[in-house]
Amino acid sequence: MAGGRAFCPVARYLPHARPGAFPHPFRTTLAPRWSSRDIPSKTVATGSSMTNRMLHDLIDAQAAATPGASAIVAGDFQLSYAALAADGSRIASGLTALGCNPGDRIAYLGKNDPRIFQLMVAASIGGFVLVPLNWRLSVAELRAILTQSEARILLAAAEFSSIFVDRAGLPEILFALDPEIDGVPFFDTWRDAIDASAPVRSGDEDDVLVQLYTSGTTGEPKGVMLTHRNLLSLRTEPGQPAWEIPEPDAVALVAMPLFHVGGIAASFSILTTLSGGTVMLMPEFDPQRIGQLLATDAVTRLCLVPAMVRAIVDYVPADACRSPRLCYVMYGASPMTETLLAAAMARFDAGFVQLYGLTEVSGYVTTLSPEDHRSADPAIVASIGRPVPGVEIKIVDPSGASLPDGTAGEIWLRSAATMKGYFRKPEHTAEVIDAEGWFRTGDAGLRLASGHIVLKDRIKNMIISGGENIYPAEVENVIAACPGVADVAVIGIADERWGEVPKAFIVRSDPNLDPARLLEWLNGRIGRFKIPRSIAFVDVLPRNSTGKVLHRVLREQASAHAASPHSPPIKEAHRA
């Protein structure tokens, strides 16, 4: 064992990422097929693990129950539960010795890596706050977040070392995640030299553990403060369905970025370790690599966004997706069209679970179960499911008054998972959380008599045309089913007569698809007032890091195109 990291004999059976996919010391090569049965057996820690509500307490309990079991697998690297607990304690001790105090922010700039989990445990022990940064942002955007978050520590991978070029304004404590960054201490060397465990600290479950920055689909990113209680309460709430709690021998393949709540919480990264399972970590999403890993018959759980599902359906052989050990495919973060869902369910021999939630509520708060996916009621299949135990949901009108079942309004929810607030932005926090703890989601939806919630769209995306409400997601779903359509987004544009009318941006899989054929497809499938008045054929839709379409960017492009004769040419057609 080196530096508390366990290199287990079973590592030689593990499937490996492509060379260089993980930073040193996680470089890997290809290896034979393996089975999760090769991983040391596990026992879920019970009793104290479910009563202690701080992350490190739960990891310590699991380490005591099954110290040699694999918590994290990344290529040929394995981190046991005992090693994860020990490394977290050592890092917390080292940071304390450097003068770090509870509440100090640790910024992490790198792709998915086991060291994120070590830092989370260290943050839990020392009272620090982990701030995973979106590595897809520009240096200017990253520096703005570093300033706003008041980060005291910054760790960055060589791939993003340009952040170190101008040291002015950076956090005072810098670490490199790779040894080749000149003038910046290598984190692994520093960590391995620590020979002391962190002192016991009397923390609180309402201490902030993680600060995640929103994707910025509507503008300036905000730092969402998530506490231990936020992240753990719903996951350990009594009454969870069996499929929602990973089994002790679960192997959860995590390809979603850990700077996103879908990666760090909703994709079972935290929950799997709490249950004694193994997180199989990919540095980033790669559909062909996922196909290789699924073909090993080791993965039991997979969590994806719809854009990832589309890539797998398009590029991964069908036989690789039909792994006998794959139990569940979870998906969420953005809407999935009926066409894509049907294709995915035909491809995977597994139960499908839809997750609905937001960063501000620590991940998912409703789930559409595998049984619901097979319901004969199309309204249930089209819903986002029911609230998970511990979550209250109500549908309200613009005044905040509750609406009856079947009537659309804004979705409000309340639970212990709701964020502590936006960092240093109390006015923005007050705009979304009322005095009674209700969180305003900004999503439009309704409740069915069965208790299922139907998500219509983001309220800000809703189009009001001649007094009629048009939800772009509904129109997009119908257009997506048209042969020849690869991707679609619908926005509202100004119209003198109707106020607003729908405009569709379409990526074609069939270059011969024309507006006439599309309009013929739409006639009779949706109301005439919902049919787009203009259609633009584009090469790609703007999306954020989790695959959500940036409708704001499309609205800006449409406005610029309408206002300027010098705008880039766009293949566009209009209907009367």
CATH number, domain of 568, equals: 3.30.300.30
Contact present, 388 and 365 (Cβ < 8 Å)? yes
Lowest-pLDDT choice from 24-28, 49-53, 264-268, 542-546: 24-28
Could you tell me which residues are beta bridge partners of residue 101?
none
For 175, which DSSP code?
E
For 573, which DSSP code?
E
The pLDDT tens digits for 490-506 are 999 999 889 899 999 99
**Which among 177, 3, 155, 157 is positioned nearest to 80, based on CA atoms?**
3
* Overall domain count for the chain: 1
Q: How confident is the model at residue 52 (pLDDT cuts 50, 70, 90)?
A: low
- Name the average pLDDT for the chain: 87
Q: Can you give the pLDDT at residue 573?
A: 53
Place of tokens 């305003």: 440
Is residue 535, in this structure, part of any structural domain at all? yes
Which whole number is the average pLDDT over 245-255? 87
Q: How confident is the model at residue 548 (pLDDT cuts 50, 70, 90)?
A: confident
Q: Can you give the pLDDT at residue 5?
A: 41
Which whole number is the average pLDDT over 432-442? 98
How many residues belong to the chain? 576
179-216 b/e (C-beta count within 10 Å ≥ 16 → b): eebeebebbbebbeebeeebeebebebebbbbbbbbbb
Place of tokens 């060379």: 19
Report how far apart, in Å, the C-alpha atoms of 525 and of each of 446, 456, 465, 478, 521 are: 22, 17, 18, 7, 7
- The per-residue DSSP string of 195-253 comes to --PPPP----TTSEEEEEE---TTSS--EEEEEHHHHHTGGG-TT--GGGS--TT-EEE
Is residue 316, in this structure, part of any structural domain at all? no
Is residue 555, in this structure, part of any structural domain at all? yes
Is residue 499, in this structure, part of any structural domain at all? yes
Q: Can you give the pLDDT at residue 544?
A: 85
Question: Who's near 226: CB < 8 A, 6+ residues apart?
Answer: 208, 209, 210, 211, 212, 261, 265, 362, 419, 420
Q: Can you give the pLDDT at residue 6?
A: 36
Which is more confident, 141 or 416?
416
Is residue 282, in this structure, part of any structural domain at all? no
The pLDDT tens digits for 272-323 are 888 899 999 999 999 999 999 999 999 999 999 898 999 999 999 999 899 9
The pLDDT tens digits for 154-187 are 999 999 999 999 999 999 999 999 998 989 999 9
Residue 33 has pLDDT above 70, yes or no: no
Residue 261 has pLDDT above 50, yes or no: yes
Is residue 93, in this structure, part of any structural domain at all? no
Residue 538 has pLDDT above 50, yes or no: yes
**Which among 158, 255, 222 is positioned nearest to 424, based on CA atoms?**
222
Which whole number is the average pLDDT over 383-407? 97
**Which among 408, 575, 426, 396 is positioned nearest to 503, based on CA atoms?**
575
Which structural domain, as residue segments, surrounds residue 468? 462-574
Which is more confident, 301 or 217?
301
Q: Can you give the pLDDT at residue 219?
A: 59
Cα-Cα-Cα-Cα torsion 430, 433, 436, 442, nearest 10 degrees, comes to: 130
Which is more confident, 235 or 217?
235
Which whole number is the average pLDDT over 232-237? 84
Q: Which two three-digit tokens encode residue 560?
A: 């610029």
Residue 28 has pLDDT above 80, yes or no: no
Q: Can you give the pLDDT at residue 576?
A: 44
Is residue 540, in this structure, part of any structural domain at all? yes
Q: How confident is the model at residue 22 (pLDDT cuts 50, 70, 90)?
A: very low
Residue 564 has pLDDT above 80, yes or no: no
Is residue 80, in this structure, part of any structural domain at all? no
What predicted TM-score, i.e. pTM, was given to this entire model? 0.83
